[in-house]
Each structure stands twice: as structure tokens, then as C-alpha cells.
Structure 1
Amino acid sequence: MFWSRGLETDFMPPNKPATPDPARTLSLLWRHSLEPSRTRGPRPSLTVDRVVEAAITIADEQGLDAVTVRSVAQAVGASPMSVYTYVPGGKTELIELMIDAVYLRADRPAWGGLRWRERVKAVADQNRALYAAHPWLIHASTSRPPLGPGVITKYEYELSAFDGLGLSDVDVDAALTFVLGFVQANARSAAEAAALPEATAMTDAAWWEAQAEVLGRVVDPKTFPRATRIGEAAGAAQGGAYQADAAYRFGMDRVLDGLDRLVERKPKA
């Protein structure tokens, strides 16, 4: 189970323990490929798709903690037990379905004549945009991803950004993991920074101003020459101690430079 403990608790009926079933979840993820086409009879008013879309909307607007059987049931106009019928594995299973659905509908433009650095940068930008649109994705683990059509399609597309570089399959997978790990870390830092003003009822400028008098007395430029000089320069350039866009641009360039070295060292044909 790759989500933190307790996520499924609100989604389980009373006295029924969570029972993860990877095979069942996989069947749900690929339900549109596995289920026969419906040709007769009325369509059910509630479907897995409706449950998943309602949960995504709740998570986007209120965060992952707000996704419970009651909130989803209320959103789709059904009873909690009816929702559980469509997602037997509880919240853990539902979140896997949510991730896969978001990944499946993401844009994947053709590469055209883009060079490899531009392609990899595009992959990074696309993932950063996903985190911005769905902040709850930041907490998803990639060690056991939901292996549905969305995840597989995303993986196939992103691997293609490294085509023609002569890297081994293992190196391509590791390179993609490296890129996505950087994007996730940057997105997490950006989200935390963005949440601070509301959480503390204080803007960054007000926070620095509140500490300026004491810092001016205890931080001697002669004792801390680098901290004062470089800190002031960075703060002036970024408008604060941390600026997510600047950190992303700088870090992404270093990621690409590192991959450039890997490509240069590949065995020559």
C-alpha cells in the first residue's frame, strides 16, 4: 500500500477491515477494456467513472483528506454503501483510480522536430502543470504506481522523450525517474511555500520584517559573511528566500546538464 496509513479508514464500512486486492484494482483500472460493450437496457445512474470524477473534484477543491465515502456519496447523490459497491477497496483503491484518470486525460503533444533536451523539458513542464492542477498528486508514490491505462500511457509517452540517445533501457528508465523526482520535489516545495501565508496569517514580507530587528543585532556580517552577502543577493533577486519558478528553472537546467553528461558518455557505435 503506497498511501499513508489511515487514508482508507473513512471509506470502509463499519467493522470491515481494508483488504487491498491488487488484481481487483487492476481490473477496475482497465474496466473499459475488460468490460463488454453495453448494448441493451438502461445505463446505471451510478458508475465507477462518476465516483472517480466526483472524488477528483473534491480532492482538487478541498484536498485529499476531504475525499471520504460520505463526501463522494453526497456529490453523486447516492448512499455511502452504494459508492462502496463500485469501489470495494475503499479510499486506497479510489485514489489509484483517481491518479490513473488524471494521467489518462493529460495532454501529450507530438514531439515533432524537438531536440532531446526540449522533449525532456516538455515532460517536466507537463508534470509540473499536473501538480499545479491537482496538488494532491504531490503525495503519490511512484514505487507502486497504479498500473492502469493512464499510468502506462504516460510512461510510454515520457520514455519516448529519450529516443535516439543510445542509452540503455535501464538508463532511460532511471533518467525519467530522475526528472520526475526533481519535478515532484519542486512542486512539493512550491505548494508548501504557497500555503504558508494562509497557514500563518502572515505574508513572506511581513515574516521577514518581524525578524529584521533581532537578526540585525545577532547576525554579524563579519562572522557570517557568506550568509549575509549571498542571502541578501538571493533575496533581492528572488523577492524572498525562496521563489518556486526560479528554483525550477535553475534545477531543471542542472538536471538537463547532468543528463547531457550521461548521453556524452554512452558507448560510441
Structure 2
Amino acid sequence: MTTAHHSGSGDIARSLQLLWQGREQASRGPKPTLTLEGIVTAAVALADEEGLAALSMRRVAATLGVGTMTLYRYVPGKAELLDLMLDRVNGPGEEAGESSEEEARRLGELGWREGLEHIGAGLFRLYERHPWLLQINQSRPLLGPNSLRGFDLALSVLEGLRLTSQEKVTVITIIDSFVTGIARAHILQRQVAEQTGISDEEFWRAQTPIIEIAMSSGCYPHVFALDEDAFSLSNEETMRFGLARILDGLASFLDSRNAD
């Protein structure tokens, strides 16, 4: 699957400068009417409410009550703004409205398994709050301070375990990939109901005649042997069940290594 947007698609050096140093303050001239933080906050709110397709320098400027050219004094363009948005929402504790220090303290109180469960659940909720994240190819992420801090905290959960550096990165990648996949299905399911105006219940009810024919044919014995509640788990419950099984496997792997 391809996406129209990807991190680092603008001036990488400029994005990194803004991420780590902020906007350089001019020694002369009028006092700035905006802040970089305020611009990013407005952009994230716009994407949350209307989707990534609505995001433009013009729309963000209008939201802030300034001209588009004023915005360009702070951010070179939409691509760099997107990099700033990604680092903002990928910060540890963002989904719970916590600071990175609070998130670090919370993780420090948990064991490795509970810590990874907490991280996985937080990632799922992050996509719920910012579904536009799923439209961005982040396979080559820019190393902003917030995203790098989040990665560091995830690694801290694995501290002390008999895992190589490669294995630690792989564990984090597996969890990220699994949760992102379930979150994608969850968001798409929610979006299709909103876009069509047809609920899941109505959609499946419309297929009842075909289901009855298929059932009576006897060609699909395993499908129709399923209990009535086979599909009743929510997407979040499915995510938690799958994540628990991944962690079961990791626990077994660690037990076998520790027994050596």
C-alpha cells in the first residue's frame, strides 16, 4: 500500500532545525504574532477534525486568523509542518495528556510485560485520536526530540532482559506493526460507516439471504460452526488479546534463554 504523504518529504535540515531548536528569533522588527507551538497545535487540531486532506498552509493560517504569508515566516511549507506535527503527537504520554516525565515514571513502575502492554494500548489510542497518522508513510522517520524520547522509553522497558540490541528493536517493531495493523482496520471500519451512512449491523443484515443460502448448502461447515458471538470482540479487545499472545511468546523465549 502506498500513501501520498511521508515524513521527511520537505527540507530535512530545516525540519530538524525547527524540531530541535525552534524558530530563530529576529533581533529586529515587530514582535512575532504567532508561536511555532501554536501553529503545530492548530495544524494537529485541523487534521484531527477534518482529516489530512484538509491540511494546508492556507487553512492553518485561516484558523489562526493570519495571512498565509505570515505562516511561512515560521514554517517553510506543509511538508515541514507535517514533520513537526508527527513529532508532536508521537511524544510519550501524548495520548493520555501526560508529560514524558510522567510517562517515564509510569513505565518505571511496571514490569517489562505490563510496560509493553501499556505502550501497545497507548499506540492504539493514539491512532484513535489522530487517525490521519495512518495516511503517512513513517518508514523513514525524522529524529525529533519527542519521537526519539518515545523510542528511548520503549527501550527502557526492555532494560535488564537478556536481549541483544537487534532483538530489542525487533520486539518494538513487532508490537508497533501489530497494533498499527489492528488500529488501521478499526479506523477504516469506523470511517466506512461514517462515509456510507450504513452501520455494520445494516451492512451484514443486507447479506442475510446469501448467508442463509451458504449455510444450507453445507459447503462451509467450519464457518457456520462458529458460535454466534465469534465476531463480538471489539477491535481494541482483539488487539489486547493478540498483544498478550505476542508477549507470551517473548516470555517463553526469555525463559528458554535464561535456562541456558
TM-score normalized by the length of structure 2: 0.85
CA RMSD of aligned residues (A): 2.8
Shift of the 117–211 alpha-carbon distance from structure 1 to 2, 3 Å rule, reads same
Aligned residue identity for 2:139: S
Aligned residue identity for 2:16: L
1:195 aligns with 191
Task: State percent identity of aligned pairs.
Answer: 34
How much does 1:42 deviate?
A: 6.6
Contact kept, 8 Å, 2:47 with 2:132, in 1: the verdict is yes
2 CA distance for matches of 1:138 and 1:6?
A: 10
1:76 aligns with 64
| Greater relative contact order, per chain length (Cα 8 Å cut-off, separation 6+) | 2
**Alignment of structure 1 residues 208-247 onto 2, 5 Å:** 208-220=204-216, 222-230=218-226, 232-235=228-231, 238=232, 243-247=234-238
Gaps spanning 5+ residues in structure 2: where? Answer: none
1 CA distance for matches of 2:229 and 2:38?
A: 51
How much does 1:245 deviate?
A: 2.4
How much does 1:5 deviate?
A: 3.6
2 CA distance for matches of 1:50 and 1:119?
A: 32
2 CA distance for matches of 1:69 and 1:114?
A: 42
Contact kept, 8 Å, 2:5 with 2:135, in 1: the verdict is no
Gaps spanning 5+ residues in structure 1: where? Answer: 9-17
Matched, 1:259 2:250: yes
1:61 aligns with 49
1 CA distance for matches of 2:74 and 2:250?
A: 44
How much does 1:55 deviate?
A: 0.4
Within the candidate set 136, 143, 148, 2:139 is matched to 143
Matched residue count:
250
Aligned residue identity for 1:126: G
**Alignment of structure 1 residues 1-269 onto 2, 5 Å:** 4-5=3-4, 20-32=10-22, 43-88=31-76, 90-104=77-91, 106=94, 107=98, 108-110=103-105, 111-220=107-216, 222-230=218-226, 232-235=228-231, 238=232, 243-266=234-257
Aligned residue identity for 1:73: A
CA shift digits 1:227-253 (9 cap, x unpaired): 111274513xx0xxx731231122111
Range moving further from structure 2, 130-139 or 100-109: 100-109
SS of residue paired to 1:227: coil
How much does 1:159 deviate?
A: 1.0
